[in-house]
Chain A
Amino acid sequence: MSSAAATVSDTLVIARRSLLRIPRQPDLLLGFTVQPVMFVLLFVYVLGGAIQTPGFDYVDFLIPGIIVQSMVFGGFVTALGLAEDLKKGLIDRFRSLPMASSALLTGRTLADVAGNVTQLVVMIAVGLIAGFNFSTSIPKILAGIALCLLIGYAFSWVFAFIGLVASSPEAANGYGFTIIFPLTFISSAFVPIASMPGWLEPVAEYNPVTVMVDAVRALFLGTPAGNSIWGAVVWCLVIVAVFAPLSAWRYRRAVTR
């Protein structure tokens, strides 16, 4: 096998492994699908009444934001999975095999895309039931969906890195919630930035999640896009460009714990 063909084959073998695992950990799958649905219900029916979103129904404002949040967290399984592989010694096995050294990471992040598609379908369905309306054209909606998946893919690499540096699956969980969770909240995902205290506004303004949420809103609702769409794409590429090499470097030095 040529080395390029071998790399593709290795990636697909690992992706298949990750996909096979999903239905066997139904609690994990359920957690990652039900949690965003709970968020939609809580925000729309509990908090929504108290949040002012001038020019929007809150459900229209919320759905793009919450979809981006669920995409950002879509790679969490990768962090947990890699931390577990490290703990169980599987990383040693993989590293002793003549497989492409990148394949464990590219395969996992690829499998995350499949998980993200599932989440996206569930989120959009729940959104539509809760009263969300797309108000743009089909091509823009499709572009928005593609952007969501790109966002999910980019953050899978952040989680891959977290999984490889965390000392245990539990620690990976901790990193995820203390670092990534605030990132999605200090953004335009759930409330208009203008409603935040003045000192926090610039933080939210420059938060990549804000750029991504604004881009998805523009594509789903037809709000003014500004530079947000290109900005979001560039952010995704930058995140991959930074975290893919970092993860690969970490993987090559990975040590069973």
Chain B
Amino acid sequence: MRSYLGAGRASDARVGVTVRARNVHPELSDAAAIETRELRKSYGDVVALDGVDLTVEPGIVFGLLGPNGAGKTTAVRILTTLLAPDGGSARVAGLDVVRDGGKVRERIGLAGQYAAVDENLTGFENLEMVGRLYHLGRRRSRERSAELLASFDLADAGDRLVRTYSGGMRRRLDLAAALVANPPVLFLDEPTTGLDLPSRIALWEAIEALTTEGTTVLLTTQYLDEADRLTDRIAVIDHGRLIAEGSSDELKRRVGGDRLELRLEDSSRCEAAAAVLASIAQGSPFVEDGSLRVPLRTRAGAIAEAVRRLDDLGIGIDDIALRSPTLDDVFLTLTGHVAEEPSEDEQRERESAA
């Protein structure tokens, strides 16, 4: 039986570096899996979505990245037919979410931040109920539930009430529930928010395994490492507007390439060091937090070259490192603020406002 856990190892390479072989779900043709045009939504005076255009190719994991209140959840709620847009249009699996809501619902799965499972049912009963509500029939629903429980390492817990589950187990069950009907398009709204690291990793591996099966996934997150690890393409959203789109690598290139960070034994020699390294730098080296930072033209051989040149001048090196830009850098550059993880207060505030 296929397992969704632990299967991520094979595709451990960072997204964008390797091109994954993609199967496209049979229910999706060449058309975009998700497409929005000028999508708008306001709550009173608060503009949640301010004209968003998105195109998600079939078979990829698309990350919608943004801070709290950026409009991510609103976008997911519209795309999953839970909320009507004020303006613009949205199509999922080729169907208009407003006109063909019923048909859209047959083709999507939703797993959210709240682990929407019934605590007073067992894991098996939860999945079986969802299967029946997708109209899979009793027998198929049961088979599928058993299958999914096994895949998500919940087989032993399948007959226990969900209220005895840990947070990570609930999220896995929630994700399993979204997969019961094997939908071509899957929406994961902040699937790992609030989980501890081992549970997050387990869930990441499950999501990675999914994507090898041709499911198109739209994932919202405020965790940059999560977007970096899981997604093929990322759209950055802030204040209801898309401010950047591309692969993780493309976005990183927008903030500049790799750089060398040096800590010298004698920091008064920074200027001399900067001068001698200028010819391998893209732009000019600069000092930040007591370290000399050298944006690089090419990564290859940079460390050896720098060490040689500084050694020739007798400048001692305390520490030297090659650093690639992270999505944190991207986010800071694009939005002018750090993508903070929400404090518990903000979390609660959002829960009551959502």
Hey, which chain A residues are within 8 Å of B133, CB to CB? 10, 13, 94, 97-99, 103
Hey, which chain B residues are within 8 Å of A98, CB to CB? 102-103, 105-106, 133-135
User: Quick check: is A250 within 8 A (CB to CB) of the other chain?
Assistant: no
Of the candidate stretches B111-119, B216-224, B231-239, the one touching chain A is B111-119
Which residue on chain A has the smallest CB distance to residue B130?
Answer: A97
Assuming the contacts A89-B115, A256-B354, asked whether A95 and B121 have C-beta atoms less than 8 A apart, the reply is no
User: Quick check: is B207 within 8 A (CB to CB) of the other chain?
Assistant: no
Q: Is the CB of B116 within 8 A of A21?
A: no
**CB-defined interface of B328-354 with A at 8 Å, one 1/0 digit per residue?**
000000000000000000000001101
Q: Is the CB of B129 within 8 A of A13?
A: yes
Within 8 A of A (CB), among B80-95: 80-83
Q: Is the CB of B114 within 8 A of A256?
A: yes
Assuming the contacts A9-B135, A97-B134, asked whether A92 and B82 have C-beta atoms less than 8 A apart, the reply is yes
Q: Is the CB of B135 within 8 A of A93?
A: no
Interface size class of A (residues with CB under 8 A): 20 to 34
Assuming the contacts A21-B121, A98-B134, asked whether A89 and B161 have C-beta atoms less than 8 A apart, the reply is no
**CB-defined interface of A81-122 with B at 8 Å, one 1/0 digit per residue?**
000000011101111111100010000000000000000000
User: Quick check: is A6 within 8 A (CB to CB) of the other chain?
Assistant: yes
Hey, which chain B residues are within 8 Å of A88, CB to CB? 114, 116, 119
- Bound form: Cα–Cα A255–B84 in Å: 12
Hey, which chain B residues are within 8 Å of A21, CB to CB? 118, 120-121
**CB-defined interface of A60-94 with B at 8 Å, one 1/0 digit per residue?**
00000000000000000000000000001110111
- Bound form: Cα–Cα A97–B80 in Å: 9
Hey, which chain B residues are within 8 Å of A6, CB to CB? 135
Q: Is the CB of A1 within 8 A of B135?
A: yes
Assuming the contacts A17-B121, A20-B121, A95-B81, asked whether A89 and B132 have C-beta atoms less than 8 A apart, the reply is no
Hey, which chain A residues are within 8 Å of B80, CB to CB? 92, 96
Hey, which chain A residues are within 8 Å of B161, CB to CB? 24
Hey, which chain A residues are within 8 Å of B83, CB to CB? 255
Q: What is the distance, in angstroms, from B85's C-beta to the closest C-beta of chain A?
A: 14
**CB-defined interface of A124-140 with B at 8 Å, one 1/0 digit per residue?**
00000000000000000
Q: Is the CB of B352 within 8 A of A257?
A: yes
User: Quick check: is A25 within 8 A (CB to CB) of the other chain?
Assistant: yes
Hey, which chain B residues are within 8 Å of A97, CB to CB? 105, 130, 133-134
- Bound form: Cα–Cα A88–B105 in Å: 20
Hey, which chain B residues are within 8 Å of A89, CB to CB? 112-116
User: Quick check: is B210 within 8 A (CB to CB) of the other chain?
Assistant: no
Within 8 A of B (CB), among A1-37: 1, 6, 9-10, 13, 16-17, 20-21, 24-25
**CB-defined interface of A216-257 with B at 8 Å, one 1/0 digit per residue?**
000000000000000000000000000000000000000111
Hey, which chain A residues are within 8 Å of B115, CB to CB? 89
Hey, which chain A residues are within 8 Å of B110, CB to CB? 92-93, 96
Q: Is the CB of A13 within 8 A of B132?
A: yes
User: Quick check: is B108 within 8 A (CB to CB) of the other chain?
Assistant: yes
Which residue on chain A has the smallest CB distance to residue B131?
Answer: A13
- Bound form: Cα–Cα A88–B163 in Å: 12
- Bound form: Cα–Cα A20–B82 in Å: 27
Which residue on chain B has the smallest CB distance to residue A168?
Answer: B352
User: Quick check: is B70 within 8 A (CB to CB) of the other chain?
Assistant: no
Q: What is the distance, in angstroms, from A110's C-beta to the closest C-beta of chain B?
A: 15
Within 8 A of A (CB), among B125-152: 125, 129-130, 132-135
In this complex, the member of B113, B134, B135, B161 whose beta carbon has the largest number of chain A beta carbons within 10 angstroms is: B135
User: Quick check: is B203 within 8 A (CB to CB) of the other chain?
Assistant: no
Which residue on chain B has the smallest CB distance to residue A93?
Answer: B116
Q: Is the CB of A90 within 8 A of B118?
A: yes
- Bound form: Cα–Cα A219–B83 in Å: 49
B177: contacting residue among A93, A99, A257, CB under 8 A? A93
Q: Is the CB of A96 within 8 A of B108?
A: yes
Q: Is the CB of B352 within 8 A of A17?
A: no
Q: What is the distance, in angstroms, from A257's C-beta to the closest C-beta of chain B?
A: 6
Q: What is the distance, in angstroms, from A90's C-beta to the closest C-beta of chain B?
A: 5
B120: contacting residue among A16, A25, A99, CB under 8 A? A25
Q: Is the CB of A92 within 8 A of B112?
A: yes
Within 8 A of A (CB), among B166-223: 177
Hey, which chain A residues are within 8 Å of B120, CB to CB? 20-21, 24-25
Q: What is the distance, in angstroms, from A181's C-beta to the closest C-beta of chain B?
A: 26
- Bound form: Cα–Cα A99–B134 in Å: 7
| 8 closest cross-chain pairs (CB), A and B | A89-B114, A89-B116, A93-B116, A98-B105, A99-B133, A98-B106, A96-B110, A21-B120
Q: List 16 A-B contacts (CB under 8 A).
A: A6-B135, A10-B133, A13-B132, A17-B118, A17-B125, A20-B125, A88-B114, A88-B119, A89-B115, A89-B116, A90-B117, A90-B118, A93-B112, A97-B105, A97-B130, A99-B134
Give the B-binding residues of A (Cβ under 8 A): 1, 6, 9-10, 13, 16-17, 20-21, 24-25, 88-90, 92-99, 103, 255-257
Give the A-binding residues of B (Cβ under 8 A): 77, 80-83, 102-103, 105-106, 108-110, 112-121, 125, 129-130, 132-135, 161, 177, 351-352, 354
Given contacts A92-B112, A92-B114, A99-B133, 11 further A-B contacts (CB under 8 A): A20-B121, A24-B120, A89-B112, A90-B116, A92-B116, A93-B112, A93-B116, A94-B133, A98-B105, A98-B106, A257-B354
